[in-house]
Amino acid sequence: MPEAPDRSRRIIFTGAAGGIGTMIRPLLARLYPGLVLSDRVRPKDLQSGETFVAADLTRPDEVASVMEGAHSVLHFGGQASEGPWDSILQANIIGCYNLFEAARQAGVKRIVFASSNHAIGFYPRRKRIGTDVTVRPDSRYGVSKAFGEALGALYSDKHGIDVTCLRIGNVGPRPVDVRRLSIWISPEDLVQLIQIGLDHPKVRFEILYGASDNAASWWDNSRAQKLGYRPTGKAEAFRAHAEAEQAKIGPDPVSDLFQGGTFCSAEFTNDVKRAGP
């Protein structure tokens, strides 16, 4: 199980103004008072007592300034969806490298990296997978998350930073379609995984799936469970809502086959029988 949080640590939270950041900040604030929030733009709902430092991940000097004196980093910054190559390259690849390198130079001890299910999106839905599979990204965005995982392994092995990569499914109050019945994670369960990354004494380099206790899950998350993960969210409780929403979407011959959903079908020009393992 994670150790009791050390409240004296300086912890940086990049991407604090984003969708996930906005959902989990109130939960993190109770566990880690003094959390330093960072993003390109100031969060609209910044609370008294919260510290915000603006930084653009593509600017090494700004990232280095934020990292000064930091013990740990929650790296949720960057582009959160598919986009043109140059925007993915700048925000999620160059920006991710700038983050890890600035953290190394600042003597950061731990990094929790927000990876994504889209790093393995071309695995078929009928196949249950663990965290030791070869990456099969479904998009340029997925490629950038696979890069971040590889970078985390490098900085862990070469520089001794404890790195936890969370292959996040979909965060929200409830799953919004049938696909998300398999990959949904509640904000509370995501924070529990973050606690493992920040506090567990046995973390060196880990890849964990960001999913709640979902009966329809495609993922073996036994490693997270060994580290003390006890999810309380259950996607099945929202099945009726998810199925009703799915009926509005209709079938997709590519998306419906693969774990990455529409990220797989977008721009798809292959024969579906040749895609995926």
Query: Band of the pLDDT at 4, cuts 50, 70, 90?
Result: low
pTM of the model: 0.96
Instruction: Determine the Cα–Cα distance for residues 57 and 31; give it in Å rounded to an integer.
Output: 26
Instruction: Determine the Cα–Cα distance for residues 237 and 273; give it in Å rounded to an integer.
Output: 34
Taking 80 as the threshold, does the pLDDT of residue 82 lie above it?
A: yes
Instruction: Determine the Cα–Cα distance for residues 276 and 6; give it in Å rounded to an integer.
Output: 43
Q: What is the pLDDT of residue 6?
A: 66
CB 227 within 8 A of CB 206: yes
Q: What is the pLDDT of residue 48?
A: 75
Instruction: Determine the Cα–Cα distance for residues 107 and 123; give it in Å rounded to an integer.
Output: 37
Query: Band of the pLDDT at 44, cuts 50, 70, 90?
Result: confident
Where is average pLDDT lowest: 36-45, 138-147, 187-196? 36-45
Mean pLDDT of 234-256: 96
Instruction: Determine the Cα–Cα distance for residues 77 and 17; give it in Å rounded to an integer.
Output: 9
Q: What is the pLDDT of residue 8?
A: 72
Query: Band of the pLDDT at 247, cuts 50, 70, 90?
Result: very high
- For the segment 5-41, what is each residue's pLDDT rounded down to a tens digit? 666 799 999 999 999 999 999 999 999 998 999 999 9
Instruction: Determine the Cα–Cα distance for residues 254 and 262; give it in Å rounded to an integer.
Output: 8
Alpha helices (runs of H) in 4-59, residue ranges in sequence order: 19-31
Mean pLDDT of 185-197: 98
Query: Band of the pLDDT at 1, cuts 50, 70, 90?
Result: low
Q: Which domains does the chain have, with CATH numbers?
A: 11-274 (3.40.50.720)
Mean pLDDT of 76-101: 98
Q: What is the pLDDT of residue 49?
A: 73
Contacts (Cβ under 8 Å, ≥6 apart) of 261: 121, 179, 255
Average pLDDT, the chain: 96
Instruction: Determine the Cα–Cα distance for residues 193 and 223; give it in Å rounded to an integer.
Output: 11
Q: What is the pLDDT of residue 219?
A: 98
Instruction: Determine the Cα–Cα distance for residues 96 and 100; give it in Å rounded to an integer.
Output: 6
Taking 90 as the threshold, does the pLDDT of residue 50 lie above it?
A: no
Mean pLDDT of 96-120: 98
What positions carry a catalytic annotation? 141
